[in-house]
Amino acid sequence: MSESERLRDGPNLDKEDVVLRVDGLRKAFGGLVATDDASFAVERGKITGLIGPNGAGKSTIFNLVSGFYEPDAGTVTVNGVDVTGAEPHAVAEEGLIRTFQTPRKLEGMTVREAMLVGPQRQPGESFVKLFTSPDAVAEAETANIEDAQRMLEQFEIDHLATQPATDLSGGQMKLVELARAMLAEPELLMLDEPVAGVNPTLANKLREHIARLNEEGVTLCIIEHDMEFIMNLADPIIVLDQGSVLVEGSPAAVRADDRVIDAYLGGGGE
């Protein structure tokens, strides 16, 4: 504990079992440098929080890591595999699953159907196998339906299974998204502002679920604006400012640091 109480200038890259390593990542949109030489590492089994004032480059880093943007420079390594500049689905295949800040709605599907998009490498996703090995497809589908149902039960939303996926409230959608991401059996789950626009009651519930997942061994990396939420959940916390890592440390240490306070006050306060 005393080790993590300390605060480091810049990132702590000296971790033992690293799932995600980002090195010297840079991305500019025209003249605006959104991410500038950002480096950090996410250790297996932990919840790593990524915070920073508006415009610090959090979402850009998320998109760079998950393959939605192509970096101008730098590397991204997931589980020792270099995925720099790879397509998002290729990054996901390496075990990095992300969620979105605004929940994505799947039109015309029930919640259960929307959940079933999660599992990776389904035999039924091959058009040919539908007709050459229908039994294997049906078996996998049955197993996936049961997994989905179990996952919905864990998240206490199994009563929604056969509801249209578009009829959910914002908070329920966040839960469904989290549950679906879990069906993909991620090595690393990256959540983009999981409690944005969610009421405090449900935010608490979400925190409990995330903590539970972490206890079950899931590694998480979370961007969040809600300080209360992230400080009670993540350790370590990485603070971004102007596109690169300012400090990294335990929540208490980060909270007490003057530079962090300066960055936030300069950027508009929190």
Partner 1 sequence: MSVAVRERFGGLTRAEQGAVGFVVLLAALLFLGLLTGGLAPTYFLYLVGLVGMYVLLSFGLNVQWGYTGLINFSVAAFFGLGAYGTALLTAGNSPLGVEGSRLLGIIPLTIIGLLVAIVLAVVVAVAIGIPTLRLRADYLAIASLGLAEVVRLVFLNQRDWTNGSAGLRGIPGFFDGWPVLETFPEAMPGLRVEALELSIPGVFSTEILGFTLGTPFWQALLNVAFVLVLVGIVFAVLRRAHRSPWGRVMRTIRSDEDLAEALGKDTYAFKMQAFVLGSVIMALAGVFYAHLNLFVSPGDLEPINTFYVWIAVILGGSGSNRGAMFGGFVVIAIREGTRFLGELLPGALPTAGIPFTDLVVSFPTVIETTYTTVVNNFASTRLLAVGLLIVLVMRFRPQGMLPPQRELIWPRSVAESAGPGETNPRETIEEEATATAHAADASAGVGDDGQTAGDATDAEPAGDDSTPDASGPDDGTADGSEDAPDEGGGRNE
Of 104, 125, 109, 107, the C-alpha closest to 181 is: 104
Which one of residues 5, 9, 82, 146 is an interface residue with partner 1 (CB under 8 A)? 146
Span interacting with partner 1, options 11-19, 82-90, 211-219, 235-243, rule CB under 8 A: 82-90
b (16+ CB within 10 A) / e for 88-117: eeebbbbbbbbbeeebeebeeebbbbbbbe
Provide the token pair at 8: 């480091």
Which one of residues 55, 85, 88, 267 is an interface residue with partner 1 (CB under 8 A)? 88
- Decide if residue 166 touches partner 1 (CB under 8 A): yes
Strand, coil or helix: 151 = helix
Instruction: Give the whole-angstrom CA distance, residue 35 versus residue 49.
Output: 17
Which one of residues 89, 215, 217, 269 is an interface residue with partner 1 (CB under 8 A)? 89
* Pair 249, 7: CB distance under 8 Å: yes
Residues in the interface with partner 1 (CB under 8 A) total 65
94-133: which residues touch partner 1 (CB under 8 A)? 97-100, 104-110, 112-113, 116-118, 120, 122-127, 130-131
Binding site for partner 1 (CB under 8 A): 66-68, 87-90, 92-93, 97-100, 104-110, 112-113, 116-118, 120, 122-127, 130-131, 137-138, 140-142, 144-146, 148-149, 159-164, 166-172, 180-181, 184, 197-199, 201-202
